A and B are shown apart, each in its own frame.
Chain A
Amino acid sequence: MSRYRMQRLGFALLTLISLVVVAPILAVIGIILVEGMGAISWEFITAMPFDGMKQGGIFPALVGTLLLTLGTAVVAIPIGVGGTIYLAEYARDTLVTRCIRLAIVNLAGIPSIVYGLFGLGMFVLFLRMGTSILAGALTLAIMTLPVIISTAEESLRSVPTEFRTVSASLGGTRWQGIRYIILPQALPGIITGIILGLLRAAGETAPILFTVAAFFLPRLPQSPFDPTMALPYHLYVISTQVPGMPIHIQHGTALVLLALVLSMNLFATIIRSYFRRRRQW
């Protein structure tokens, strides 16, 4: 019977390790929630920071992050969705197609700080955009492309091939098949991909360090050519660069950022499971 005791022991070990993996995740969320809750108030969300950021709120950082995310969406969605359609529906297995796939794998692997360097070199300096929302959004958009493309491509490919054949047999051109059948069916997956990409953009710090982020700027940006504060960078600044920063403000900022990103995550999950149940094939 020792084989079975061995099995019980093995399974117990695997369970234990999985707990070791999960527990810190719960700890991160739990601790930031408990410690940060106290700082959260209407004022904290909607007020300008003052007194060396030790008082007031995080309003400009929150708005900055929302604007950056919006800008990223405007740039990344058309490129990402177009690229996905090309890869899933048009590309044949040629050398160029393999190069595109390799490029996407590579884009996905480039460290976020290297995106920051690139944004600095190309957008801020070479194209003379200066540190601005525009430069930051462009940098973040390129970073999010592989996330959008890989998720969206999977959902396009999961639409049965037969639909394409049927559409063609009824006199549909390739684009009509995509437009009227494939895209509507793949839409939930595409939206999921877009949200996953954008939530990554919203939470990233390294790419915006030298392209947008202002250390302390107690007013809202007036145009895409202005720099702005941003939530993740703000958290970095107040937790490492400002001595004597009240700890509850730090936790409160972390909580807002975490809530923003996790709610996007939740939204993506809900969309995915809701539409998976409703699909007709």
Chain B
Amino acid sequence: MFAQKQAQAAHADWREFVIEALIRVLGFSTIGFVLLIFLFLLREGVPSFYKVPVSNLFGTRWYPNFDLFGTLPLLLGSVLVTVTAILIALPLGAATAVFVREVAPNWAREILKPMIEVLAGIPSVVLGFFGMHAVAPLIRGTLGIPTGLTVFTGALILAYMALPTIISVAEDALDAVPKSLRDAGLAMGATQWQTIWKVVVPAARSGITTAVMLGMGRAIGETMAVMMVTGNAARMPLSLDSLFRPARTMTATIAAEMGEVAQGSIHYHTLFGIGIILFLLTFLINLAAAATIFKKRRRGGLR
């Protein structure tokens, strides 16, 4: 005979029963929201995939007014801005995390951590505004190019927007490195710097990878700041100087054009189609990042 645990539920009075049922429903609701989001994206976005020929949809020209819905320049625009942003943010973020966790004196930590929280709280549109008025002119002046609204400007702003995520996840990863490993390094006569560089950082590598992925997810979905500072020219960013020329991302395209399209038009459906691509991209990125976190937790590493 096994213990009958369900007995408790049978006896709880009805008020308690109602409360617990409600809590259960609320807990499950998050799944419902994700499904609803996906459902509505599909409902509005899928028509574009059969109304627009594939060759057009994956063409290199995005001129909706002429029924040209080539999403390739937008996709590449997003990828270029995001990758550049991560290349900037990774060294900055990793180094700051190491500094905060391993090196910084207490007072410096007490200043740095709130500052980074503040950065995480600054609205995207404010950073975009700052980018337009302070960063873009600086870049135009320094490089002597016709406009400061470029891929690089966008990537720079995005890098800073991704930093809080990268730093906090990387910090957790460093935190999870066992003290014994550090002590072993130091006991063998290594300096603190050598221990950090040769022992701690390599041990935290997978956590730092997670940090990069989450930062990337954040960057690729960013809208307002990118729209305000990358110049929004829907052209294929293939030449070498693309970094210092305007480009157009998927997010900016939706934000800029959805307000003006006729509901139910091909253009309208295609913008939702881009939404589906964004949804799936970020879903995959976050799934991969979450998988490494969950795996770590099971082994008792991170947490």
Residue in chain B with minimal CB distance to A104: B30
Question: Is A257's beta carbon under 8 Å from chain B?
Answer: yes
Q: Which of B43, B92, B223 contacts A113 (CB 8 A)?
A: B223
Answer whether residue B128 sits at the interface, using C-beta atoms and an 8 A cutoff: yes
How long is the Cα–Cα vector from A24 to B158 in the complex, in angstroms?
13
Q: Which residues of A contact B48 (CB under 8 A)?
A: none
Which residues of chain B from 40 to 98 have any CB-CB distance to chain A below 8 Å in the complex? 40-41, 43-44, 91-93, 95-96, 98
Task: Report the separation of the CA atoms of residues A102 and B220 in the bound assembly, to the nearest whole angstrom.
Answer: 20
Whether the pair B28, A96 counts as a contact (CB closer than 8 A) is yes
B251 interface hit (Cβ, 8 Å): yes
A contact face: mostly helix, strand, loop, or mixed: helix
**Interface-centre pick from A7, A86, A99, A110 (highest chain B CB count, 10 A):** A110
The residue on A at minimum CB distance from B121 is: A265
A108: chain B residues within 8 A (beta carbon): 286
**Inter-chain contact A21/B28, CB cutoff 8 Å:** no
Enumerate chain B residues within 8 angstroms of A27, measured Cβ to Cβ. 130, 134
A15 vs B92: C-alpha distance in the bound complex, in angstroms?
A: 11
| A210 on the B face (CB < 8 A) | yes
**CB-CB contacts of A11-34 with B at 8 A, as 1s and 0s?**
101110110111011111101100
Q: Give the most central of A79, A120, A250: most B CB within 10 Å.
A: A120
**Cβ of B31 < 8 Å from any Cβ of A?**
yes
Asked if B43 and A24 make an inter-chain contact with CB atoms under 8 angstroms apart, the answer reads no
- Binding site secondary structure of chain B: helix
A212 within 8 A of B: no
Interface string of A127-161 (1 = CB under 8 A from B): 00000000000000010011001000000000000
**Are A90 and B44 in contact, CB atoms less than 8 angstroms apart?**
no
CB distance from B109 to the nearest CB of A (A): 10
Contact (A110, B29) CB under 8 Å given A21-B92, A239-B132, A262-B118 = no
- Closest chain B residue to A120, Cβ basis: B258
Of B140-148, B173-181, B186-194, the segment with at least 4 beta carbons within 8 Å of chain A is B186-194
- Closest partner residue, chain A, to B132 (CB atom): A239
Chain B residue with the shortest CB-CB distance to A250:
B129
Known: A145-B30, A239-B129. A14 touches B99 (CB 8 A): yes
- CB of B24 within 8 Å of the partner chain: yes
B41 touches A117 (CB 8 A): yes
Residue pair B130, A31 in contact (C-beta under 8 Å):
yes
**Chain B residue at minimum C-beta to C-beta distance from A109:** B286
Contact, CB under 8 Å: A85 / B23: yes
Q: Select one of A85, A106, A121, A232 contacting B283, CB under 8 A.
A: A106
Q: Chain B contacts of A85 at CB under 8 A?
A: 23, 26-27
A22 touching B121 in the complex, CB below 8 Å, given contacts A28-B126, A28-B127, A107-B33: no
Name the CB-closest residue of B to A87: B27
Known contacts A7-B194, A82-B22; A103 and B33 CB within 8 A of each other: yes
User: Is A90's CB under 8 angstroms from B27's CB?
Assistant: yes
Chain B residues closer than 8 Å to A96, beta-carbon distance:
28
A contact residues around B128 at 8 Å (CB):
236
B95/A18 in contact, CB under 8 A: yes
Name the segment of A37-45, A46-54, A197-205, A216-224 touching the other chain. A197-205
Query: Which A residues are in CB contact (< 8 Å) with B115?
Result: 22, 25-26
Cα–Cα, bound, A264→B117 (Å)? 12
Does A6 reach chain B (CB closer than 8 Å)? yes
Give the most central of B96, B123, B283, B286: most A CB within 10 Å: B123
Q: Are B193 and A107 in contact (CB under 8 A)?
A: no
Contacts of A236 in B (CB 8 A): 125, 128, 224, 228
Beta-carbon contacts under 8 Å, A150-204 to B: 173-175, 199-200, 202-204
Interface membership of B160, Cβ < 8 A:
yes
Chain A: minimal CB distance from B269 (Å): 11
Given A113-B251, A118-B37 in contact, is the A100-B221 Cβ separation under 8 Å? no
User: Is there a chain B Cβ closer than 8 Å to A271's Cβ?
Assistant: no
* Complexed CA–CA distance, A160 and B194 (Å): 38
Q: Given A111-B251, A117-B44, A210-B258, are A83 and B26 also a contact pair (CB < 8 Å)? A: yes
Question: Can you list 29 pairs linking A and B with CB atoms under 8 Å apart?
Answer: A6-B194, A14-B103, A15-B103, A18-B96, A18-B104, A22-B111, A79-B26, A90-B27, A103-B31, A107-B34, A109-B221, A110-B221, A118-B37, A121-B44, A121-B272, A126-B40, A149-B30, A175-B20, A203-B122, A203-B124, A205-B123, A210-B259, A236-B125, A236-B128, A236-B228, A254-B130, A262-B118, A262-B121, A265-B121
**9 closest cross-chain pairs (CB), A and B:** A111-B221, A86-B27, A203-B123, A82-B26, A7-B193, A109-B286, A121-B40, A17-B95, A14-B99
A residues neighboring B (CB under 8 Å): 3-4, 6-7, 10-11, 13-15, 17-18, 20-22, 24-29, 31-32, 78-79, 82-83, 85-87, 90-91, 96, 99-118, 120-122, 125-126, 142, 145-146, 149, 173-175, 199-200, 202-206, 209-210, 232-233, 235-236, 239-240, 247, 250, 254, 257-258, 261-262, 264-265, 269
